[in-house]
């Protein structure tokens, strides 16, 4: 079997595997999916963001975000209220339970993925983080800067 030494391929593959593993461990331990977790972290970092902005920042459709938000509301993790100054506009926020779940999910993912990162020295981890931050920044659409500012180091 030939090894693939393409940065793009390897990044895509690692991203896919990490996403699938993250989804599975979050489902098993907290009953939420990775897509739901990403919505919750976005709301934790930007509490009064609109669904349309969430969709843009995560690269998903508004319909997909809306479905996920409804599931999270049913679990008591999110609440949606009408904005007082514009009754047609709805704002979704984390409930206190949702805030706790988001923090717990971050801990679960850090714990779950720690053995993989343990294979790297501290210097390698720092270099990887620096490189990924640069790639993230250059991959962001300058017209949608909000997507770049949603990412925090977990």
34, 26 Cβ separation under 8 angstroms = yes
Query: What's residue 141's pLDDT?
Result: 62
Which tokens hold the place of 113? 């993925």
In a domain, 92, yes or no: yes
CA proximity to 37, closest of 101, 111, 96? 101
Instruction: Check residue 144 and give its pLDDT.
Output: 52
In this predicted model, which residue has the larger pLDDT, 141 or 117?
117
Residue 49 resides in a domain: yes
Between 139 and 149, the more confident residue is 139
pLDDT of 7 over the 50 cut: yes
Cα–Cα distance measured from residue 70 to residue 76, given in angstroms and rounded to the nearest whole number:
10
Banded pLDDT at 142 (limits 50, 70, 90)? low
Q: How many CB atoms lie within 10 A of CB 18?
A: 15
129 DSSP β-pair partners: none
CATH of the domain at 70: 1.10.10.10
Q: 21 lies in a domain? A: no
Contact between 33 and 26 under an 8 Å Cβ cutoff? The reply is: yes
Note the pLDDT tens digit of each residue in 37-89.
999 999 999 887 888 889 988 889 999 999 999 999 999 999 988 777 777 77
């Amino acid at each position: 079997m030939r090894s693939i030494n393409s940065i793009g391929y390897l990044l895509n593959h690692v991203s896919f595997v990490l996403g699938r593993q993250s989804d599975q461990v979050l489902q098993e331990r907290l009953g939420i999916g990775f897509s739901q977790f990403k919505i919750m972290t976005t709301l934790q970092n930007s509490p009064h963001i609109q669904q349309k902005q969430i969709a843009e920042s995560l690269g998903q459709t508004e319909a997909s975000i809306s479905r996920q938000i409804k599931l999270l509301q049913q679990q008591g993790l999110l609440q949606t209220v009408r904005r007082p100054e514009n009754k047609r506009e709805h704002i979704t926020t984390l409930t206190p339970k949702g805030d706790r779940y988001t923090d717990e999910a971050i801990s679960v993912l850090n714990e779950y993925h720690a053995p993989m990162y343990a294979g790297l020295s501290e210097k390698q981890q720092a270099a990887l983080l620096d490189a990924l931050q640069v790639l993230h920044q250059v991959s962001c659409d300058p017209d949608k800067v909000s997507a770049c500012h949603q990412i925090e180091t977990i």
